[in-house]
Amino acid sequence: MISSILKKIKNIIISSALNYKNSDLYFIKISNLIFKITKKEHRFQLSNLGDNLPKYFVFDLKDSSKKLFGYRKQGFMAFGDGIKKRGEHIGLEYMLDKINFENNDNVIDIGANTGDLKIYFDNKNIEVDYYGFEPGLIEYECLKINNKKSNVFQIALGDNNSIAEFYYKPEFGDSSLVEMEGYSKKYQVQVMKLSDFFQKNKLDNKIIKLIKLEAEGFEPEILYGLGSYIQQVKYISADLGFERGINQDTTAPQVLNYLLSKGFEIIEINGSRFVFLLKNKTVL
């Protein structure tokens, strides 16, 4: 009974910190108080980078590692248990433990947000060749600073090369090329086919160990834009939840049917997030 009451009080305090609009410092102080009480080994701080740049970062008290994030709710959700735990969690979400990664493997992170996927590999001391794609404004700034030694790009991916409207809904990483309810603004972004990106960046003759795909409902178009190079991809871990457009449709039928027709097989499903891990049967 007492623990239930304390949990409710904790949730009320967290909610007030996340939603109190006028004080970033209040959010930082309340978050850190909770981390201290619950004996977490990380803290939040203001970044002081300036306007239109990420406001916050999380840092580890033991090894001083840190990661930037731009939005309170997304940051607390991602880093409430610290940096290393975030890497472990995202590995579980995308079922990466089913893949035997090695140094110099090519990993493509589509919908990279702040680059949290890379933490999974950092935790395991695996030096992958990481390519992160994130058209979000603040998210890309985080991605760029969080992964200074990696290849990161502020472009969207699709089935054509064009300029398109991007619908920005960043609090929980819900932005997309497909219009949805509740977006905060829209702006134009460069859209590029992955096949052209491969050619431009000399990936057209290399094996891609993993594509992590999370595009808030734009997954089919991205895969179509890969063209014949899909035969160089060994694993695809795709979030195919109910996120496409106003009606919040799933893209699972289109994506899975397409990949199965290209020689992939489903090897694992994360039902809690509707994530599918597929393996290309033709790639050794």
Average pLDDT score over residue span 243-247: 92
Round to whole Å and give the CA distance between 93 and 86.
Answer: 10
pLDDT tens digits, residue range 151-167?
A: 999 999 999 999 999 99
Q: What is the pLDDT of residue 172?
A: 80
Helical axes 2-19 vs 24-37, angle rounded to 10°? 150
Instruction: Give the pLDDT confidence score for residue 171 in this predicted structure.
Output: 84
Kindly tell me if the per-residue pLDDT of 72 is higher than 80: yes
| Positive/negative CA dihedral, 42, 51, 165, 107 | negative
pLDDT in tens, 174-201: 899 999 999 999 999 999 999 999 999 9
Query: What are the domain boundaries of the chain?
Result: 2-81, 85-280
pLDDT at residue 21, as a whole number: 61
The one-letter amino acid at 174: D
End-to-end CA distance of the chain: 55
- pLDDT band (50, 70, 90) for residue 11: low
**Residue-averaged pLDDT of the chain:** 92
Could you give the C-alpha distances from 100 to 39, 97, 126, 178, in angstroms and in order?
33, 7, 11, 34
Dmax (CA) for the chain in angstroms is: 61
Residues, the chain? 284
Q: Dihedrals φ, ψ of 91, to 5°?
A: -65, -40
pLDDT, one tens digit per residue, over 250-282 is 999 999 999 999 999 999 999 888 999 999 999
Per-residue pLDDT tens over the stretch 73-116: 899 999 999 999 999 999 999 999 999 999 999 999 999 999 99
Domain 85-280: give its CATH architecture: 3-Layer(aba) Sandwich (3.40)
More confident residue, 134 or 26: 134
- What pLDDT is stored for residue 15 in this prediction? 64
Give yes or no for a contact between 281 and 265, defined as CB atoms under 8 angstroms apart: yes
